[in-house]
Structure 1
Amino acid sequence: MNANANQPSMDLSNPDNYINRELSLLQFNLRVLEQAMDERHPLMERLNFLLIFSSNMDEFFEIRVAGLRNQMETGTGTPGPDGMLPQEVLAEISRITHEAVQRQYHILQDILLPALAEEGVHFLRREHWTEAQAEWVKKYFRDQVYPVLTPIALDPAHPFPRLVNKSLNFIVPLDGKDAFGRSTGLAIVPAPRSLPRLIRLPDEVCENGDDNFIFLSSMIHAHVSDLFPGMKATGCYQFRVTRNADLEVDEDVEDLASALKGELLSRRYGDEVRLEVADNCPQHLIDYLLEQFELGQVDAYKANGPVNLARMFTSVNRPRLHYPPFTPRVPAPVRKYESIFDAIDQGDILLHHPFESFSPVVNLLAEAARDPKVLAIKQTLYRTGTNSEILDHLETAARNGKEVIAVVELRARFDEESNIEGARRLQEAGAIVVYGVVGYKTHSKMLLVLRRDGDGMKRYAHLGTGNYHTKTTKFYTDYGLLTAEPGICQDVHKIFQELTGMGKAARLKQLKHAPFTLHPSLMEWIEFETEQARAGKPARIIAKFNSLTEEHIMQALYRASQAGVEIDLIVRGICCLRPGIPGLSENIRVRSIIGRFLEHTRIYHFHHAGEDLVYCASADWMDRNLFNRVETCFPVNDPKLKKQILEEGLHFYLRDNTQAWLLSADGSYRRAEPAPGEEPFLAQQALLEALSNG
């Protein structure tokens, strides 16, 4: 009998056993920020991590903080497993984020910008402009900026303007009177989004032959008085406001697309949740802005630099400052055959992105669109992007007379507008477009092709852990499976019937799918390992996904740990489970990998009495994925491919001693380091070397 079996039972619902999900997400963002300090990354990539942190924090405030504020104001907040009330979480978020913002600008101003300047990449302050540069800026401002600026004086006839979410603005105190004799003393200058936030100076006004950039905000600061003839601007301070950007759409509307279009406009003007303002802005002006936005002092974040850092993304032609390029490998079975159908006929094909190319999936659609033997194509579309090869091939297929059925998820957050446009394109081409199931987001990644095969019909399927977005496949890690296995393809067919028609939940043979069988299957698999351990038999769980929040699964994992199951979780973002608690979770280890690529694969492995169950999925272990979305979880049956996933998808990441962050019982993360005499091992780099063409 396992030694843990005699331990007294613990209260698995004790809030002390869980980490707050919002604070866990915030910790992930802090791990991203720390990449800007990692000298293993090239300098421009370190800057990009800083900007990614800024973008992540924008969304964190737009969605998570906005939601907490709404819960607090309406009294609708229900504590999660951790037991924290919305006001408690908001107070902790405020404390952590104010410190993080100070660190962010310290890294930018004191570390990255000076280091980039040494490499010949300069972000020039106004006081460092040469006479020639100042003259060029003056002309650029007059020709390109001044004509599109609309200064707004503040007086009874010009109330404080309604400013767009995350837009760059300036508050300008003024001296003197205008042409109408007005002396309001204050104006707002919004910077149009059509203007670039970063402008490269031409080489002819730079003597060093380096890359020299200036900020739009610096241009406006230098020439703001030009906007107010006869008056004097006594200051110019940039600011921006972040608003609630979560969409609320009534599921009972007759036309979801039309309803979403209306909501997209409201996203730009939702309730205010954060004010970012230049740190040299006088306090009385900060107080004025906070009053206009109905925010408190804790909601003001002072920036020692541009307030809109997410718009600083740029590149320079200096290879040593960027990651070395690589060419994703095309698997041998695909290279061997001219037709992708012939390649799949030889056996299942596993694709590990971005190390291996996404082109086989695109080629499957391209060939299916023009193949006279193909009768129908069915696909789920969650995120595809606006300029999408996937949409192009689906359009071609529809125009070629194929039956094209696209299940388009219009509510993919921040991709709603793109998806509405994609749905319109497909409908105009003659495709059948449906928007999934009311009340459930369609998050599964499935493609099914029906093709004549002699006198019969054959199905080909692609199942993935990531989106059909050819851009993200270059920097998200994901798995995809190309298969003609009849059982799997039949299951995919049944799920499409479920999504487009009506009826009872499909009875599937191999796939598990949410919101029906996935959660019960996970609980069953965890319980099986628990019973094996209690019987003194080998028991093991390794799982990799983006987030873990579902309380019943966490409790099942705690019970498994108590029974002696060895559990390793590779969780990129949110993890509400506390590992390493004596008597509860000492057999659970949690790590997060942050590196060049965004970790996105979902892999579940259970020892299962030596059978080694290996599944890939579109779903994280979260309430929303398991109960409120349509998700697919597919087995990897081929022994060779199963072994490959175990080694490259899981064990490589467990060996990582450089880009891994280890979660402690107190909710903090510490960076893994090689043991004395141990060589550094970076999972992503090892995969690049093993799978790509360099």
Structure 2
Amino acid sequence: MPKPIDLRDPSLYNNRELAQLEFNVRVMAQAMDERLPLLERLRYLCISCTNLDEFFEIRVAAVRHLQDLGGPTTADNLSPAAALKLIHEHAGILVESQYRYWRDVLRPQLADSGIRILSRETWNARQKRWLKQYFDDEIMPVLSPLGLDPAHPFPRILNKSLNIVVVLQGKDAFGRAGNMAIVRAPRSLPRIIQIPPDISGGPHDFVLLSAVLSNFVDDLFPGMHVKGAYQFRVTRNSELLVDEDEVENLAHALKGELAGRGFARAMRLEIADNCPKAIVKILLGNFELPENAVYRINGPVNLNRVIAVYDLVDRPELKFPAFKPRRHPDVDGDSLFERIRRSDVLLHHPYDSFNAVLDLIKEASSDPDVLAIKQTLYRAGKDSELALHLIEAARNGKDVTVVIELRARFDEEANIRLADRLQEAGVQVVYGVVGYKTHAKMMLIVRREGRKLQRYAHLSTGNYHAGTARAYTDIGLMTANPDIGEDVHRLFQQMSGLAPAYKLNCLLQSPFTLHKALLHKFQREADHAIEGRPARIIAKMNALNEPGVMEALYKASRAGVKIDLIVRGACCLKPGIPGVSDNIRVRSVVGRFLEHSRVYWFENGGDAELYCSSADWMERNLLRRIETCFPIIDPGLAERVFREELANYLADNQQAWEMQPDGSYVRVAPAPNAMPHSAQDALLAQLCL
């Protein structure tokens, strides 16, 4: 028997916030990978910066909220103050890495390739004249500089907006002594300005808006002397707090919260590194931030906005080769209903086109035999084609019900607008269940066929969003299996009609059965291992932090179960700890596409089971959301998912990272004489080329 050990010892687990930052370090490493095309490395750098923004808006805000509640400890037994100190230390290292790479490597390499981001000191006379005219014509008319005095207190600064703090000397037209002013850059202004080639002499010459504002800021204060101008940006809490038990209309309450989101509590201040300490102190006091929350920046404070260059520059040789998702051979030709009735259809996005899903809902919207369509929507995207088909179905007399999640983070406003559009077309819109986000991805179509009603279901690990279906890896299943159809029907009844927690035939569901089922399956593997039967767990997901799951995995490891976890993002479990997790390996794959699919495989003594799910192994997914987990019943399709989504990624030695027992990651290198293998490139070659 394994030696007794306290599996709740906090030292056995990674801090959640630092684990999230560690993922961003891996994204940053992609930006620094010289094997990748130049503009793709620029894109990864900007993604790293955007991820860090969201980290402060959500994760740091949560820790700060814990601190406000009186200092309860975090999950790994740190006080909120101690956690915040560690966060700022580690985030500071990451920020320094981002800007050093931008200044010393990426920007010079872009210039060598004919893509120049021109700094103020490099502008020649012709460029400066053109930029001055651009400032006068396009920028100055929309600016409203605000001098700070008793009549003009410090203005409200919008979340992540570009601002310039200006130090002034002299008197204005009314004889008021100048001191400080704030120049806010309206969001209507482009953050990247391209200089015409005939003016600049280069085909792809760009200037940052912050540089133009800083250079010509004197023109905003005629008769006064500008002693200094320093760009800054503040990142604020972006969580929406709505007490659903206390509101009668969730959509109306969210609209009210959205109006104030951009001015919630400050979490971080980024400011030019040459800004005087006295000015920084004033800003910190205004935003009620501690000194360790200021990040002095040698470069643009909104570096992520340089992503615009990626789209403005048409240089295919500096980007990933274009690919066209394949039209799945199983959905070509006859009616999709006839095809799905014959056997299940598996879609692996982005390699398989999302058009198959759109075609299914389009066919259903006009088919006279289709009686009802039920759909969940978490993120649908702007101008969603799927939403248009749902509207058309309602206009054609179908009974259409959509469960739309208004609280999908950063998509709340878009989802409210979509809900209004659907309701106006006669769609029955349900806002989910109070207290539980609806994160499940499912569609149900009810069709009359002869004397019976036939159900067709689509279940997925990803959203019904055509855009992300080209950038995220996900698994979708189209099936006419009666047990699955009945389960999906019951889940929709639950969400829309206050039905009880039904016993389901084969689906697992959060918050009722999925967590318990996972713990049971972990223990079953442990029992198999103890009895000498085949026992192994392989799982792929976005994140892992649920304490019960991690403790159960440690127990299974101690019983001899071999466990391989492919966790793209934050993982709080530590592998390779002697006597605790010797049999656990954790790897992360960061590649061209965002790894988003959730796949769980259990060897089960030789009678293997494979599930796909909308849920990560996180507290929120397993205990506080409505999620689905569906089995791949067809043996051939299960083998395909295992081969493409599990074995393929365990063999990756190009884009994979292996977690060490201390929570850090090391890039996986090919073994001696081993062939290079990229999981995503292999799927592109197999399915798309």
- TM-score normalised per structure 2: 0.98
Instruction: Identify the match of residue 252 of structure 2 among 250, 255, 258.
Output: 258
Q: Which letter does structure 1 place at the counterpart of 2:32? A: M
Shift of 1:522: 0.6
Aligned residue for 1:520, secondary structure, equals helix
How far, CA to CA, are the matches of 2:216 and 2:554 in structure 1? 62
Q: Does 1:10 align with 2:5?
A: yes
Q: After superposition, where does 1:244-643 map in structure 2 within 5 Å?
A: 244-252=237-245, 253-314=247-308, 315=311, 316-335=313-332, 337-643=333-639
Between the two proteins, the alignment pairs up a number of residues equal to 685
Residue pairs, 1:158-197, within 5 angstroms? 158-197=152-191
Partner of 2:41 in structure 1? 46
In 1, distance between residues paired with 2:605 and 2:643? 19
User: Structure 2 counterpart of 1:250, which letter?
Assistant: D
Q: Give the 3-state SS of the residue equivalent to 1:313 in structure 2.
A: helix
Question: C-alpha separation between the residues in 2 aligned to 1:266 and 1:544?
Answer: 37
The answer to whether structure 1 residue 664 and structure 2 residue 657 are counterparts is: no
Q: 1:680: how far off? A: 1.4
Alpha-carbon distance in 2 for matches of 1:685, 1:459 = 36
Secondary structure of the residue that 1:234 maps to in structure 2? Answer: strand
Match of 2:211 among 206, 214, 218: 218
Q: Is the 8 A contact 1:379 1:447 kept in 2?
A: yes
Instruction: Give the partner amino acid of 1:302.
Output: R
Per the alignment, in what secondary structure is the counterpart of residue 213 of structure 1?
A: strand
Please, which moves more after superposition, 475-484 or 132-141? 132-141
Q: Is the CA contact 1:68–1:77 (under 8 Å) kept in the aligned structure 2?
A: no
Q: Matches of 1:154 and 1:224 in 2, distance apart?
A: 16
1:251 Cα deviation after fit: 1.0
Letter in 2 for 1:148: V
1:106 equivalent to 2:94? Answer no
Cα distance, 1:505 vs. partner?
0.2
1:62 corresponds in structure 2 to: 57
Cα displacement (A) at 1:465: 0.1
Say which SS state the counterpart of residue 109 (structure 1) adopts: helix
Distance 2:499 2:140 in 1: 61
The residue number in structure 1 matching 2:30 is 35
Match of 1:149 among 125, 143, 147: 143
In 1, Cα distance between the equivalents of 2:618 and 2:273? 39
Letter of the 2:11 counterpart: D
| Alpha-carbon offset, residue 330 of structure 1 | 1.6
Q: Deviations over 1:287-344 (max 9, x none)?
A: 1211211112211101111101222212211111111100111211112x23221221
- Partner secondary structure for residue 153 of structure 1: strand
Q: Is the 8 A contact 2:458 2:479 kept in 1?
A: yes
Question: Normalising by structure 1, what TM-score?
Answer: 0.98
Structure 2 Cα separation of the partners of residues 145 and 241 of structure 1: 22
For 1:258, the aligned partner's letter is H
Aligned to 1:3: none
The structural deviation recorded for 1:103 is 0.9
Distance 2:211 2:550 in 1: 51
Q: Is the 8 A contact 1:151 1:187 kept in 2?
A: yes
> Which is further off, 66-75 or 658-667?
66-75
Letter in 1 for 2:51: N
**CA-CA distance at 1:206 after TM superposition:** 2.4
Residue of 133, 136, 158 corresponding to 2:130: 136
Deviation at 1:438, TM superposition (A): 0.5
Q: CA deviation at 1:170?
A: 0.3
CA deviation digits over 1:335-388, x for unaligned, max 9?
2x2322122122111000111111100111111111111111100000011211
Find the aligned partners of 1:241 and 1:530 in 2 and give their Cα distance. 50
8 Å Cα contact 2:563-2:584 kept in structure 1: yes
RMSD of aligned residue pairs (Cα, Å): 1.0
Distance apart, 1:74 and its partner CA: 2.1
Question: Offset at 1:78?
Answer: 3.9
The answer to whether 1:85 aligns with 2:79 is yes
Q: Report what 1:234 is aligned to.
A: 227
The runs of 5 or more residues in structure 2 that have no matched partner are none
Moved more, 278-287 or 636-645: 278-287
Give the Å deviation of 1:68: 0.8
Amino acid at match of 1:319: P
Aligned equivalents of 2:127 and 2:530: distance in 1? 75
Give me the whole-angstrom Cα distance separating, in 1, the residues matched to 2:647 and 2:20: 25
SS in 2 for 1:177: coil
Identity of aligned residues (%): 54
Alpha-carbon separation, structure 2, partners of 1:203 and 1:325: 27
Measured after TM superposition, the shift of residue 613 of structure 1 is 0.2
> Which stretch of the first structure deviates more once superposed, 576-585 or 290-299?
290-299
**Equivalent-residue separation in structure 2 for 1:513 and 1:123 (angstroms):** 50
CA-to-partner distance for each residue in 1:236-257, whole Å, 9 max, x for gaps? 1100111111110011210000
Give the conservation status (yes or no) of the 8 Å contact 2:172–2:178: no
Q: Distance in 2 between matches of 1:341 and 1:201?
A: 54
- State the 1:30 CA deviation: 1.0
Does the aligned pair in 1 maintain the 2:71–2:79 contact within 8 Å? Answer: no
| Kept in 2: contact 1:197–1:216 (CA 8 A) | yes
Code of the residue aligned with 1:587 in structure 2: it is: N
> Aligned partners of 1:66, 1:146: CA distance in 2, in Å?
35
Q: Distance in 2 between matches of 1:313 and 1:423?
A: 31
Which whole-Å CA distance do the structure 1 matches of 2:91 and 2:267 have between them?
13
Indicate yes or no: 2:14 matched with 1:19.
Answer: yes
Q: CA deviation at 1:76?
A: 5.3
Amino acid in the other structure paired with 1:204: D
